[in-house]
Chains A and B, each alone.
Chain A
Amino acid sequence: MRFIFKTDYMQDIRLAKHSGHVFWYSALVLLLLAAPWIVPKYWLSQLTFALIYAIVALGMMLLAGFTGQISIGHAAFLGVGAYTQAVLTNLGWPFPLALACAAYFSAAVGVIVGLPALRIRGIYLAIATLSFGFIVEEVFARWDKVTGGNAGIHIKAPEMFGWKLSSGEEFYFLCLVITVACTLGVLNLLRSPIGRAFVAIRDSEVSARSMGINLARYKTLSFALSAALAGIGGALYAHKLRFISPDQFSIVQSVDLLLMVVIGGLGSVHGAFFGAVFLIMMPQLIAMSKDHLPAAIGQASGLQAVVYGVVLIGFVLFEPLGIYGRWLKIRTYFELTPVYRKGMFKRQKSFQKSDRLS
């Protein structure tokens, strides 16, 4: 068990709170840097996908986990980023410029979607974002001059400063750098006034307002930032797949993205990464287990959807804090052994929470 002796305000502000953080996160970064040499090519490609989804998950987390606004149309932002990147790259724009445009354009669309969030919340916001997702998907399919319609669009490999990143390893490093940058940005935001304003809005709008927080401004900002991160993710996604078509940005994708943050653990940056890894690993695990299952189950077409559904229901019922919540418990267990007490994380029955609402 670690006891931290605080003597300086910077200790609370610093990202790495103690030497353990420094050690483990450096180890993680080193491992990720060494990955191309120690991981087979196929798994490196999956790791790249995990990084891309982690960026999108960070955005989702900012919106759903920290600001408390739900979005079931997030694939639309992913799509806007992907198509912007595809079109601009094919026009010959360098990668950084195209990426910035993809992020900005997604953010602009995010602001438009954020506007109804000023008036509606909860289930109504979910429906509004859902229908927005459908509209955008339809636009991708119909606007074939730019998007290539249902036939889809091919995209060239990223290119910057005369350097063409055509190999999987190079692209992996590119994704790693962008992911780390996005993560640091989000962490910085969360320890600054804007991040605190987001959490304030999530927990009590009325008192957030009485503290001088402009609800309209911060809700729109949250949507814009979330959309921008989804846009960056989408741009990398387009490069990774080399081919995009409207059906990749359908409602199924949106639900996957939401599922990712819920399973990862709402309200924690760790959760975004756990969720992304889960989303990439799950189909692989299902595919691997198919061979060992009886044919009637293993070859059934809806297997993946059923497994996802069961896992989601399981998490909502037993571990609402997601994988991150489970991780915390395991870590606490090891830290506190032998003085760990059973029931430290025992949950209250849910109707406890409405205390003192009159």
Chain B
Amino acid sequence: MNQDILLSARELSVHFGGLMAVNKVSFDVKRGEVFSLIGPNGAGKTTVFNLISRIYKPTSGSISFEGCELNALRPHGVAGLGIARTFQNIELFEHATVLHNLLVGRHTHHDSGLWSQLLFSGKVRAAEIEAREKVEQVIDFLDLQHHRDSIVAGLPYGVRKVVELARALCTEPKLLLLDEPSSGLNVEETEDMAFWIQDIQHELGIAVLMVEHDMTLVSKVSDRVLAMSQGEVMACGLPREVQTHPGVIESYMGPVGDVSFSVGRLRETSPTRDEPPVLNLLNVESAYGPIKAIRGVSLQARRGEIVTVLGSNGAGKTTILKTISGIIDPRKGSISFKGQDITACDPAYIVQQGLCHVPEGREIFPLLSVRDNLAMGAYTRKDRDGVAKDMEAVYGYFPVLKLRAGQDAGLLSGGQLQMLAISRAIMAAPELILLDEPSLGLSPKLTKEIFEIVVRINRERGTTMLLVEQNAHMALNAADYGYVLENGRIVMEDTCARLREKEDIKEFYLGMKEEGVRGERRWKKRKNWR
């Protein structure tokens, strides 16, 4: 057996009912390398992770880690071998502090018994201090000092991602499994993530196996890449080789670098900023408990426009959407929709006025069929013919939903879920749709497809859209007008065409500027908005 090989998967297969999720996948991860899994949504990447961490049992095939067969282990035994993982949707211990979360990571390193812990003997005390020292090293490594004593439930998404990475590092693993480390992060935060992954590899000597959609990150940090499609291996090799593999380009990447839309910027009557706005936020302030999430936000959307809000994680973008749709009541300010004041109204009432929210996590009804989910979207509507017509229109936009109409929505893949969530909003025949991160966790090709359809819906139905999105390239190409949000305040607003030309936007959101502070290790710079 080769000493260099840390993890080796052979002929791995798993079926769910009739579905072949993973089919005869074999690969090796060498010591100290960064190995990436890429592939379209539903290709079985996360399933491979779940097989390694023993959440699923393979139908056939074997996985060995340093010569030890993982299939013979109980699920909790995997951590003891030195395999740690993070989760796609973040599975932290929500109601505990960051420190507590990280200390749980040290669990496998404790060996004291019940009685000594009940009495908190000297040995336990010493072990606690030792654990704390190890945890502090990780906190230092990932710059988490500031959040040490915060409760996880109150932290922004980007910080939670880092906390999850930190917790995995606290187990002192030999192999780190990262499930979409950059999903939901903006360019700047993704850049930090890339530095950390490189540091983990070089300074700590830990091998990393990751699933990732951001090809910039993949090609920057990985030593080798495996591309999967529909449960099978499509290509494996150096990042450059895999990226240029014709099959990968066709099924996953889509045309590289092309962010223009086929429906295009053609628009007969371009909405002007002089019209009275459909949606008007004036000086809105919202807070979670003591923390102000947005302060004094004023924002307008005109009829037929796509308006986008850019900003880093925790800037308050989602909070704006939640405040508009009535999920959070604002502390101050007013929100009006079609000239009517909807500040702090009940969410159900706001939907009836023609304002629909597609939430970040999609939030479909998993136990209802796709058709019933769509019907739920039209819950408040009385015109049966109109509903039937819209149902057909939705199937026209997303043919895959028609194929799956009878299936439980919980069985859909990530991309299909997003399509369903958008469709469900359309079914309410809204005048304004609030879209929260439609591309979260989607492959580059699928992201583009979703955006094309969003633009098409906007053009064909005249639906106004308020779009929150981490993929600034896509958002700025799709939208007409944009706002930039920093720490809960709007720092810049302009038409998207002009925003795309701004130096700061290029640097912080599009990642297009090579000079300046970029490329420096841990580039943290106070942003001065010009």
Interface residues of chain A, those whose CB is within 8 Å of chain B, are 9-10, 12-13, 185, 188-189, 191-197, 199-200, 202-204, 206-215, 221, 267, 341, 343-346, 348-349, 351-352, 354-358
Contacts and interface: CB of A to CB of B under 8 A. Distances in A.
B327 A188 contact: no
Contact of B91 (A196, A197, A207, A345): A207
13 contacts: A10-B129, A13-B125, A13-B132, A192-B112, A199-B104, A202-B93, A204-B92, A207-B91, A208-B93, A208-B104, A209-B75, A212-B79, A357-B361
Given A9-B132, A13-B125, A357-B89, A351 B327 contact: yes
A189 B117 contact: yes
Contacts of B171: 211-212
Nearest to B125: A13
A212 B77 contact: yes
A327 B132 CA distance: 30
Nearest 7 A/B pairs, CB to CB:
A212-B79, A203-B93, A207-B91, A192-B117, A188-B120, A212-B108, A193-B110
Given A203-B96, A341-B290, 9 more contacts: A13-B128, A192-B112, A193-B103, A206-B87, A206-B91, A212-B107, A212-B108, A348-B328, A355-B360
A209 B106 CA distance: 13
B363 A354 contact: yes
A122 to B, nearest CB: 16
B132 A211 contact: no
Contacts of A185: 118-119
Interface string B101-141: 00111111010101001111000110011001100000000
B317 interface: no
A357 B359 CA distance: 10
B331 interface: yes
Contacts of A189: 117-118
B92 A214 contact: no
Interface string B334-361: 0000000000000000000000000111
A243 B74 CA distance: 48
A188 B119 contact: yes
B417 interface: yes
Nearest to A356: B361
B213 interface: no
Interface of B: 53, 55, 74-80, 84-85, 87, 89-96, 99-100, 103-108, 110, 112, 114, 117-120, 124-125, 128-129, 132-133, 157, 167, 171, 287-290, 322, 327-328, 331, 359-363, 414, 417
Contacts of B55: 206, 209
B107 A193 contact: yes
Nearest to B84: A210
Contacts, number: 141
Contacts of B93: 199-200, 202-204, 207-208
B5 to A, nearest CB: 23
B105 A211 contact: yes
A345 B76 CA distance: 37
B287 A346 contact: yes
Contacts of B107: 193, 196-197, 200, 211-213
Contacts of A191: 120, 128
B95 A203 contact: yes
B79 A210 contact: yes
Contacts of B327: 349, 351-352
A197 B106 CA distance: 10
Nearest to A332: B290
B87 A209 contact: no
> Which one of B84, B120, B125, B171 has the highest number of Cβ atoms from chain A below 10 Å of its Cβ?
B120
Given A188-B120, A189-B117, A346-B289, A358 B417 contact: yes
A356 B288 contact: no
Contact of B94 (A13, A203, A221): A203
A197 B105 CA distance: 10
B118 A9 contact: no
Nearest to B81: A212
A333 to B, nearest CB: 13
B125 A352 contact: no
A226 to B, nearest CB: 14
A203 B92 CA distance: 7
A10 B124 CA distance: 12
Contacts of B362: 358
Contacts of B288: 348
Given A348-B328, A357-B363, A192 B53 contact: no
Nearest to A206: B91
B132 A12 contact: yes
B361 A210 contact: no
B79 A211 contact: yes
A349 B124 CA distance: 41
Contacts of A215: 76
A212 B110 CA distance: 11
